[in-house]
Structure 1
Amino acid sequence: METLLEEFYKMDLIVEKFHARKVRLDDKSYQINGITNSGKSKIVKNYLLSLKKSSYLYIDCSDIRIDIKLMNLSLSSFCHQNNIISLVLDNYTPDIKFVQVTQLIITSELYYQFSNLITLQLYPLDYEEFLAYEYKYDSSALNHFIQLGGFASMHKINTDERNIYLQKILSLKLNDIELNILILAAKFMSQKISAHTIYDRLKQTRKISKDKLYKSYEQLVQKGYIHQLEKFAHSRATKKIYLCDISLKSALSLEKNFGRLFENMIFLELLKSKRKSYYSEGIDFYLPQQNEIILCKPFADERRLFKKLESIESFIVSYEVRKITVISMNKEVSISHPIAKVDIIPFDIWALGD
C-alpha cells in the first residue's frame, strides 16, 4: 500500500482552465459535499496547486487499487514521514480513518457529522458562475444556459452526445432504484409529488419494496439530486419536487414543458443563494424573510398577470406581502398595483442582481 501512496504523493495534479467558484478554500479543514460533476475535485486540486508540492497528499478514494484496511494501517506513518501538511480524501467513504494532519479536506456526495470540519455545499454552476465559461456575454447566454445547465463539463460535450453523457454519469453514480426514481422526478419536475406516489408508479413496472424505495428516495434528497419545497404553513402537505440541474430534464424524460423547466431554474438560483422559500396555492415561491412573492412567467402577459394577482390577493393581504417579482425570459417593466409593488424582471437580470 505504501507503493500506491508514494505514487499518489509524486503524482502531478492537472487542472485545465479553472474558473473561480463562489466556494473557496483556505488553510482550514473542510468537508465539501455535492453531487457528481458539481466541481468538488477541481476546486480541491486548484487549491492544492497553490501549495508547495511536497506539503500535500491527494488521494482519490474511488481508485479501485486502494485496499482501505491496508491504507488505514499505513496512511498515518506515511504522512508523518513525508511531513504532509494538507491531506485530501476525495470521494471519501466512512471506512477510511482520519489521521493527524494540519489540514484535512474530504469530498463526498453525502454529508457526515464531523465537528472538526467546516462544511461547504457545492452545487452545479449558478447562472453567474456559468457566464465565466461563455466566450462573451450577450443575448444568447441565457439560451445557452437553458441548453447546457449547470454542469461545467457540458461545455466540452458535443450537442448530440449530451443526453447520453449525462445518462452514463448518473448510471455510474446511482443504483438502479435511485436512477428509476430520478427518471420519474424528471417527468414530474416542479410539481407536487410524494415518495408514496413514486412508489405506486414504480411498482407497476418492477418489483420493489416500499421501505427500499423510501430509503433510496431519501438518499437522493440527502445527496442533492432531488430537492423538495415545502408548502408554506403546511409542513405535512405534499412537497414540490425539483431536479439538481435542469439538464437532467431532457436527458431523462421526453416530457416537454418549458414553464416547469423555467421554474426549476429559478428554484435552483434561490437555493444556491440560500434564500428560504416555500410554495403556496397559486404561488410559485414565497420568501417570508424578504416579504416577497416570486412568480415564474417566462412569457409574461400583463392582462393574464392581473388575473393571477387577483387569484392570490387574499394571500398577499393576509401576509402583508410588499413585493411581487415576476421573472420572465426577456420582459422588464414595473406595474402599478394597489396592493404591492409588482416588477417583471428578465431571468438574467434577476439572477445576477441578487
Structure 2
Amino acid sequence: MKALICTQPGTFEYRDIPSPVLKPGHAIIKIKRIGICGTDLHAFKGTQPYFSYPRILGHELAGDLIEADGADGFVPGEAVTIIPYFNCGTCIACRNGKPNCCTNINVCGVHSDGGMLEYLSVPSYALVKSNGLSYDELALVEPLAIGAHGVSRANIQPNEFVLVIGAGPIGLGTMEFARIAGAIVIAIDINDNRLQFCKNSLQVQHTINATTEDAMERIKEITGNEMPTVVIDATGNQKAINTALQYLAHGGRFVLIGLQKETINFSHPEFHKRETTLMSSRNATRKDFEHVMNTMKRRLVNPATYITHRAKFDEVKDLFETWLDPATEVIKAMVELE
C-alpha cells in the first residue's frame, strides 16, 4: 500500500509499505479522509514536541472498518473515526479516568505512525461509530474535541466572558464550544481574515487584532473593565502565553491548549493576586468526542464551515508546504482517499 512519510523536517516521500495484518485486540481501517492539523504542520516544520522522524503523520481520520478483533457492536464496512490517543489503561491517569494524559500515551501520527496511508491498524478500543455522520464530519470530530475538552476544563458558565487567543482551527473550535456553553466570546488573533471568519461563520461577538488595536483597552471596554474570567490560549506561542495573564480577571481560570517547546513564565505577583487557576488541556476524551458528535447531529456546529481546502492523497506532497503560508488562508485542509 502507499504511504506518505515525513522523513525529516520539510521532506515528504511516498513509499510502498506492507499492508497491516489483523492483530489481537486491533482493527484495520481503510482510510477515506485525513484532516491536516497544526500538529502535522508543526511536525513538518520540525517544531513539534514529542516527535521523531521518519514518521507517517495524520490523526484526524475517517474511514471504513475492514476487520476487527474485540470490537463488540462494530461490523465490517461501517464508517468509523478513532480516538487517536492510545492509552495503557493501567497508569494513575487512566485509573482516574484521564486516558487523554496517560503516562504511557501513544498518539497516532505523533509517537507512532498515523493515517497518511491506505490502511491503518489501531487498537479496537479506539474505534468510534459514525452515528450517521459523513466522512468529512468524522474527520473533524477530533480537532473539535480538542477545543471542547479545553472548554470542559474551564468549566465555563453562561454569560462569562471568555477570551480565546488564537484563531487557528483549534482556537476556532474552542470558540464554538465556549459559545455553545453560553459564554460571551472574545477572539484575539493577528490575522484579519481569521477574525472575519470568527465573526461571519462562528458568530463570535467580539474580535481583536492584537497588532492593530490596543488589546487591553478593547478587552476592558468589552468587559466593563472587569476582564474575562476565562482566558484560553490556543496559539502555543511563547510570547502569547507569557503575556496572556494580564488579560485575566481576578479569580479567573487560565487554560493552555496550545503547546510549544520552551519555558513559560509570568509575574508571580500578578499570578498570585488573581488567585489564578492555571490548567493545561491535553487531547480529549471519549466524552468530548460524543459531545462534539452530538452537536454536529443537532446542527449546533457546521463542520463544512471549517473545510477550506481539499486535496487528493497523491497531491499532498506537493501541496502541503503551501498550507503553511498564511496567504493561502487555510482553515482546514481535507485529504481524500477513494
TM normalised by structure 2 equals: 0.27
Which structure shows the higher helix fraction? 1
Structure possessing the higher relative contact order (Cα contacts under 8 Å, 6 or more residues apart): 2
TM normalised by structure 1 equals: 0.26
Larger radius of gyration: 1
